[in-house]
């Protein structure tokens, strides 16, 4: 399968060959140490796994791992040329060249090389896997023994599955060729786990260069026995529990390095002396705690044992923060809360309910969305927590908070028009709408109550859905259990693919069964767009089709708050107060730029 590029890898392999579980928490007197409290624990250093992409893991990785590209709040790729360059060298076939800067180094002093990229290609392309995970109804893996016995990275990326050829290596550069256009080519591949550590652990090769070379050889030669061990190590040895026992394996490429991991409680990071990129560490140590509830975070901030608190944004929390002397408090927005309508569940918005008449179903959907009083939701429910809150019109927030704006949507409910549309559709009986949402969240519970009251005035009976398995599994796999989902939409690590997979007919994450020729035409064009400069125009076409069919309605961004012990507060242990900390949006796919306050130029 890889014969055409084996010579480059063989030369690269030859070049490589020659060339605590628990710890005491920081004391109150902690010079040059900043403590950050967050709601989500760190679970994995591996960005290729679901645990590694969880918010608490993303937060840590964004400070300890450098790479070619990061994503900003708008889903725009930001290149770090101090790490290397990413160059599209051909459109047909799509060919991308990665060149690693000579200064890029792992925290144990080992140079970053194309072996690290080659490992990530092997893991994320799916080309070498010979076993597939089998899942139960809750999403748990039930065939772990088979995975361990075979080759199973089990982390195929929708983008990298199109890179079916073994990459070629030339010195510090790796070149990737795609079989089809991939719009997310800028962020599809990056350095993730250290090939030399994987080789040392999986293959028992002590020398770092030789260990990385052994991994590359196994990939190039498709050595099933070696790849079985490599894939198991890649898949499981970089989660929090494993690294807590072997923290020396948690090597990193960013301004900070991992020093202590206490699973479920905290991660301690220290200045990475090997880092020579842009934005070096501002502090000697950063402690990220996840063991405090929201009000306990506020208490710790007041006591000086926490410097940056990111508690849930609730009335109780804001009132408590107001009592903390000298605290600087800032509010902002995180993931966009949307109403997504189920069109394939034989319910209120499915054409099958109306004898297969798609036009009638569309009319009923649009009528329902007209009953949503977004102005009231913002003013009465969200603004008390975030004064700058505004109605969200972007329909594709997995790309960025302003991606795909629906220009025809209205902010206030139009009950008269909603009733008129139901009359037009010939619907005379009240329409039952079962809404799937997390009612344990006071914000969403309040939104559901507002929606219930407003929709009733136009002929809709809104009620919470009855769980089949649970919120997450039901959203994905129980279309007959719900008619509308009120859910947050986070940013995606593959922004363009997230839109195509979510709204294209039969898409991998199309949970509402949405199908529409106009949407499919727009997503097909979007998926093949290789010029980032025209992506916004392509997204607009997708949003227009969704808006016209009444598929989805954005409400408002989830409010978040951050508090720091400002300059008026006592300075614990000589650590300067954290400057200009933005509200922490854990729904972001990449939090590298959130940490700008913990880095300094030079």
457-516 confidence digits (pLDDT tens): 999 999 999 999 999 999 999 999 999 999 999 999 999 999 999 999 999 999 999 999
More confident site: 572 or 304: 304
Whether the per-residue pLDDT at 28 is higher than 50: the answer is: no
User: Within a domain: residue 62?
Assistant: no
User: Within a domain: residue 32?
Assistant: no
CB-facing half-sphere around the CA of 104: CA atoms within 13 A: 25
What are the φ/ψ torsions at residue 322 (nearest 5 degrees)? Answer: -65, -20
Confidence of residue 410 (pLDDT cuts 50, 70, 90): confident
From 204, 234, 264, the end of a domain falls on: 234
Please tell me the predicted confidence (pLDDT) of residue 343. Answer: 97
Whether the per-residue pLDDT at 10 is higher than 50: the answer is: no
Domain identity same for 229 and 347: no
User: Sign of the CA dihedral 502, 503, 507, 512?
Assistant: positive
The whole-number average pLDDT for the span 85-102 is: 97
Nearest to 264 by CA among 299, 246, 288, 236: 288
Domain identity same for 209 and 99: yes
Rounded CA separation 290/489 (Å):
23
Please tell me the predicted confidence (pLDDT) of residue 434. Answer: 98
Whether the per-residue pLDDT at 567 is higher than 60: the answer is: no
Q: Is the distance from CB of 512 to CB of 349 less than 8 angstroms?
A: no
Q: Is the distance from CB of 340 to CB of 395 less than 8 angstroms?
A: no
Q: Is the distance from CB of 68 to CB of 191 less than 8 angstroms?
A: yes
Quickly count: other Cβ atoms within 10 Å of residue 542's Cβ.
27
pTM over 0.75: yes
Mean pLDDT of the residues in the chain:
91
The whole-number average pLDDT for the span 551-578 is: 76
Q: What is the CATH number of the domain that holds 363?
A: 3.10.105.10
Q: How many domains does the chain have?
A: 2
Rounded CA separation 40/56 (Å):
5
Please tell me the predicted confidence (pLDDT) of residue 9. Answer: 44
User: Within a domain: residue 503?
Assistant: yes
Rounded CA separation 418/415 (Å):
5
Q: Which domain does 186 fall in, by range? A: 69-234
Q: H/E element holding 259?
A: strand 256-262
The whole-number average pLDDT for the span 522-549 is: 94
Please tell me the predicted confidence (pLDDT) of residue 576. Answer: 56
Whether the per-residue pLDDT at 26 is higher than 80: the answer is: no
Please tell me the predicted confidence (pLDDT) of residue 121. Answer: 98
Q: What is the CATH number of the domain that holds 127?
A: 3.90.76.10
Nearest to 67 by CA among 224, 254, 243: 254
**If DSSP codes are grouped into helix, strand and coil, which group holds residue 492?**
coil
**Which string of DSSP letters, residue by residue, matches 160-199?**
GGG--SPPEEETTEEEEE-SS--TTTTTS----S-HHHHH
Confidence of residue 574 (pLDDT cuts 50, 70, 90): low
Whether the per-residue pLDDT at 73 is higher than 90: the answer is: yes
From 182, 208, 234, the end of a domain falls on: 234
3-state DSSP of 70-131: EECCCCCEEECCCCEEEEEEEECCEEEEEEECCCCECCCCCECCHHHHHHHHHHHHCCCCCC
What confidence tens digit (pLDDT) does each residue in 413-461 have? 999 999 999 999 999 889 999 999 999 999 999 999 999 999 999 999 9
Confidence of residue 571 (pLDDT cuts 50, 70, 90): very low
Rounded CA separation 43/240 (Å):
5
User: Within a domain: residue 87?
Assistant: yes
Domain identity same for 224 and 342: no
Confidence of residue 158 (pLDDT cuts 50, 70, 90): very high
More confident site: 389 or 16: 389
Please state, in angstroms and as integers, the Cα–Cα distance from residue 153 to each residue in 132, 241, 258, following that order: 9, 19, 24
Helix, strand, coil fractions of the chain, as percent rounded to 5: 35, 20, 45
Please tell me the predicted confidence (pLDDT) of residue 140. Answer: 76
Please tell me the predicted confidence (pLDDT) of residue 8. Answer: 45
Please tell me the predicted confidence (pLDDT) of residue 141. Answer: 78
Task: List the structure tokens of 431.
Answer: 């329409």
User: Within a domain: residue 337?
Assistant: yes
Q: Is the distance from CB of 547 to CB of 374 less than 8 angstroms?
A: no
User: Within a domain: residue 303?
Assistant: no
Rounded CA separation 391/120 (Å):
40
Tell me what percent of the residues of the chain surpass a pLDDT of 90: 86
Please tell me the predicted confidence (pLDDT) of residue 14. Answer: 44
The whole-number average pLDDT for the span 302-323 is: 95
Domain identity same for 226 and 343: no
Nearest to 211 by CA among 230, 231, 191, 228: 230
Please tell me the predicted confidence (pLDDT) of residue 348. Answer: 96
Name the residue with tokens 């798609």.
358
Nearest to 40 by CA among 337, 263, 299, 302: 263
Nearest to 416 by CA among 461, 371, 460, 349: 371
User: Within a domain: residue 150?
Assistant: yes
Pair type for strands 84-91 and 94-100: antiparallel
Domain identity same for 366 and 506: yes
Please tell me the predicted confidence (pLDDT) of residue 577. Answer: 60
Torsion of CA 21, 26, 32, 36, to 10 degrees: 80
Please state, in angstroms and as integers, the Cα–Cα distance from residue 363 to each residue in 58, 292, 511, 544, 600, following that order: 41, 47, 21, 16, 55
From 234, 253, 282, the end of a domain falls on: 234
User: Within a domain: residue 566?
Assistant: no
Rounded CA separation 489/491 (Å):
7
**Which string of DSSP letters, residue by residue, matches 533-574?**
GGHHHHHHHHHHHHHHHT-EEEEEEEEEEEEEE-TTS--GGG
Domain identity same for 228 and 359: no
Domain identity same for 106 and 223: yes
Please tell me the predicted confidence (pLDDT) of residue 89. Answer: 97
What confidence tens digit (pLDDT) does each residue in 263-274 have? 999 999 999 999
Domain identity same for 397 and 511: yes
Please tell me the predicted confidence (pLDDT) of residue 22. Answer: 39
Domain identity same for 92 and 225: yes
């Amino acid at each position: 399968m890889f014969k055409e590029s084996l010579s480059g890898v063989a030369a690269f392999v030859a070049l490589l060959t020659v060339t605590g579980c628990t710890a005491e928490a920081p004391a109150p007197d902690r010079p040059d140490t900043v403590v950050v409290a967050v709601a989500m624990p760190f679970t994995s250093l591996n960005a290729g796994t679901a645990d590694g992409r969880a918010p608490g893991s993303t937060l840590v990785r964004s400070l300890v791992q450098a790479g070619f590209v990061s994503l900003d709040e708008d889903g725009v790729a930001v290149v770090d040329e101090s790490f290397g360059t990413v160059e599209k060298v051909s459109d047909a076939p799509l060919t991308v060249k990665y060149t690693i800067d000579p200064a890029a180094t792992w925290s144990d002093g080992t140079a970053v090389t194309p072996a690290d990229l080659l490992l990530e290609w092997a893991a994320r392309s799916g080309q070498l896997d010979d076993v597939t995970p089998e899942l139960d109804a809750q999403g748990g893996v039930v065939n772990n023994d088979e995975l361990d016995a075979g080759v199973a990275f089990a982390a195929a990326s929708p983008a990298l599955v199109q890179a079916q050829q073994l990459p070629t290596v030339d010195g510090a550069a790796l070149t990737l060729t795609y079989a089809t256009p991939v719009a997310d080519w800028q962020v599809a591949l990056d350095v993730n786990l250290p090939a030399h550590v994987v080789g040392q652990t999986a293959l028992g090769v002590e020398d770092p260069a030789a260990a990385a070379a052994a991994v590359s050889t196994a990939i190039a030669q498709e050595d099933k026995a070696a790849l079985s061990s490599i894939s198991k190590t890649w898949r499981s040895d970089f989660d929090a529990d494993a690294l807590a026992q072997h923290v020396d394996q948690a090597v990193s490429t960013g301004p900070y390095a991992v020093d202590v991991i206490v699973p479920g409680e905290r991660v301690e990071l220290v200045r990475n002396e090997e880092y020579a990129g842009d934005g070096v560490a501002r502090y000697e140590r950063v402690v990220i705690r996840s063991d405090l509830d929201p009000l306990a975070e506020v208490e710790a901030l007041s006591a000086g044992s926490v410097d940056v608190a990111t508690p849930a944004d609730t009335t109780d929390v804001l009132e408590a923060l107001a009592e903390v002397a000298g605290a600087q408090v800032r509010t902002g927005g995180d993931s966009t809360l949307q109403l997504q309508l189920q069109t394939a569940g034989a319910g209120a918005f499915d054409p099958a309910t109306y004898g297969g008449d798609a036009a009638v179903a569309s009319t009923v959907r649009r009528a329902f969305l007209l009953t949503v009083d977004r102005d009231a939701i913002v003013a009465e429910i969200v603004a008390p927590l975030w004064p700058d809150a505004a109605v969200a019109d972007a329909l594709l927030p997995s790309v960025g908070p302003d991606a795909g704006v629906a220009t025809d949507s209205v902010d206030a409910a139009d009950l008269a028009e909603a009733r008129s549309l139901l009359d037009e559709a010939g619907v005379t009986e009240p329409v039952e709408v079962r809404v799937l949402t997390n009612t344990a969240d006071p914000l969403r519970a309040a939104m559901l109550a507002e929606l219930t009251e407003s929709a009733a005035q136009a002929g809709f009976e809104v009620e919470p859905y009855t769980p089949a398995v649970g919120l997450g599994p039901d959203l994905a796999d129980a279309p007959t259990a719900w008619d509308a989902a009120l859910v947050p939409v986070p940013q995606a690590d593959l922004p363009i693919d997230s839109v195509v997979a979510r709204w294209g007919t039969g898409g991998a994450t199309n949970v509402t069964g949405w199908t529409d020729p106009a949407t499919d035409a727009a997503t097909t064009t979007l998926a093949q767009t290789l010029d980032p400069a025209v992506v916004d125009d392509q997204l607009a076409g997708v949003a227009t089709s969704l808006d016209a069919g009444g598929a989805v309605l954005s409400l408002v961004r989830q409010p978040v708050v951050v508090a720091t012990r400002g300059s008026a507060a006592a300075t614990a242990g000589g650590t300067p107060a954290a400057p200009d900390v933005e509200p922490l949006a854990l729904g972001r796919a990449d939090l590298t730029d959130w940490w700008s306050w913990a880095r300094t130029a030079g």
